Chains A and B, each alone.
Chain A
């Protein structure tokens, strides 16, 4: 039973537009969420995080939104650039559990 779900295996977005990646979770006790980005043949790299006491965190072109009542997390990338083409994972840490979504492959079209 997947506790963290990324329901879109892939997403295609035009360069310059907004990319929105989504993540749903089941346990309201999850209290910290992280997004990682992964290029082929490399390990994931940390992108941005959010604590459950916040509903938004911004870092440059990347913004993460947390909707606790809906148990939903989203990552917005504005504007999307070709270098953003990668697989994006959401991850949560709670009570010594590390739970990862299956990933969404983002393709930025020129």
Chain B
């Protein structure tokens, strides 16, 4: 079974703090993704990576950056957290093709005060 783990289930940070969200997958998947989920908006893609050290912007990259130094690990960084970044963050991975099903972690509920 594919397992995608996220470093925290719940996180509370203050405005202006630097925030790191970590994601690890154990099935040697090529692609990794970061989404945020907000009520009524579905999942919105922040960034994705199709290989180590490769990254591409998704639909809403502003205020975020990512890092993929190893194949199994994909980090999302909020350089200076703001209250409008309070959300559920979901990490996912998929095998090789863009159309492959994605496997998701349990999510991190981030609250920025």
Contacts and interface: CB of A to CB of B under 8 A. Distances in A.
A44 B99 contact: no
A101 B41 CA distance: 8
A45 B2 CA distance: 11
B81 interface: no
Interface residues of A, number: 22
A103 to B, nearest CB: 6
A41 B40 contact: no
Interface residues of B, number: 24
Contacts of B41: 102
Where chain B touches its partner, the secondary structure class is: strand
Contacts of B44: 100
A45 B104 CA distance: 7
Where chain A touches its partner, the secondary structure class is: strand
B107 A49 contact: no
B106 interface: yes
B98 A103 contact: no
Interface in A82-110: 89, 91, 93, 96, 98, 100-103
B95 to A, nearest CB: 12
Contacts of A49: 99, 101
B106 A89 contact: no
A100 B43 contact: yes
A91 B102 CA distance: 11
Interface in A23-78: 32, 34, 36, 41-46, 49
A101 B43 CA distance: 8
Contacts of B48: 98
A102 B40 CA distance: 5
A53 to B, nearest CB: 13
A89 B99 contact: no
Contact of A41 (B33, B43, B98, B107): B107
Given A32-B99, A43-B107, A102-B40, 12 more contacts: A41-B9, A41-B106, A41-B107, A43-B4, A43-B91, A43-B92, A43-B105, A44-B104, A98-B48, A98-B58, A100-B42, A103-B42
